[in-house]
Amino acid sequence: MRRKVAVLAVVFFIRLSLHADKAVKCSIKSLTACPKIGCSKPGSPLAVTNSMKRTTSTTGSAAKVTFDDLDALQKDVDDSFASGPITVAGEKVTSARNMKAAPRKIILSGLKAKSGKFTEGNFVELAGFIASTKLEPHANKGETVNCKLTDQPSNDFHINITPQKNQDETQGVVVEMIPQNPNRKSKDWSLDKLKKIQAQQIPVRIQGRLFFDNEHAPNTKKTGKAGGNPRRFSVWEIHPLSSFEVCLASSCTETTGWKALEDWTPTN
């Protein structure tokens, strides 16, 4: 894992900076009025990204994905642009940041990892722990996908998940709960619960859609400010989440010991 991530992250960040897709002005005042593409130009790369963040449909059983898989999938995308711009579906794509709908679907489909082939939008499952340092689960603020609204109920919850207990963010990946989810609306998925899970390092199991966060680059710097790139070794996420479970037994099996977050009440 972590194959030359630091070098790749720098290269990827430079390309993102050169080809950043701009948001548009937005005067929407409520989440219910916010369109699926948020504050973005229809048909633009950012509109596609925002739409993926808001797509909740899933089919069949969730495929298990591992942290090594997410590392391999990051390398797959990095390798695609290692020699510069590429032409996909008749369109020139200058960077992973600049993918419109048709090229994005092709570039992010059938990528190889140890557990099999994966495509953005796949229904997947990941097990681990909420990173113990440095950042708590929190609500994002002012993202274009949610029409730049700044209140907590109108923004995604950002959660870093690691493979083992007591690891920091650079060893994990990000998963997100969107405010449109019924469990978010009812506050059965709350930051208070997530912070208690983090403090106690309770094992978690999550399901949702596989998503490539091309607005950012991997960041494995353990010190200093994270800047515009949250710490993580891969920008592949599970976003949005459709389920979040905690392990309440000394050890959980595939079918026993797990409890849905919306049904769990912290003991202290």
Q: Among 158-167, 182-191, 247-256, where is mean pLDDT lowest?
A: 247-256
**Please, are residues 91 and 103 in contact by the beta-carbon 8 Å criterion?**
yes
pLDDT of 20 > 60? The answer is no
**Please, are residues 98 and 19 in contact by the beta-carbon 8 Å criterion?**
yes
Q: Which amino acid is at 31?
A: L
**Could you give the CA distance from residue 191 to residue 139 in angstroms, rounded to a whole number?**
8
H or E, element range at 92: strand 91-93
| Distance from chain centroid for Cα 217 | 12
Higher pLDDT, 14 or 249: 249
Supply φ then ψ for residue 113, to 5 degrees. -145, 170
93 contacts: CB under 8 Å, gap ≥ 6: 81, 85, 86, 87, 99, 100, 103, 107
Supply φ then ψ for residue 15, to 5 degrees. -65, -40
Q: Among 26-30, 198-202, 207-211, where is mean pLDDT lowest?
A: 26-30
Please, what is the average pLDDT of the chain? 92
pLDDT of 217 > 70? The answer is yes
* Separation in Å, CA 29 to CA 41, 150, 186: 18, 10, 21
**pLDDT at 268 (0 to 100):** 74
pLDDT of 147 > 80? The answer is yes
**pLDDT at 14 (0 to 100):** 38
pLDDT of 190 > 60? The answer is yes
> What pTM, to 2 d.p., does this model score?
0.91
Q: What would the mean pLDDT of 75-100 be, rounded to a whole number?
A: 96
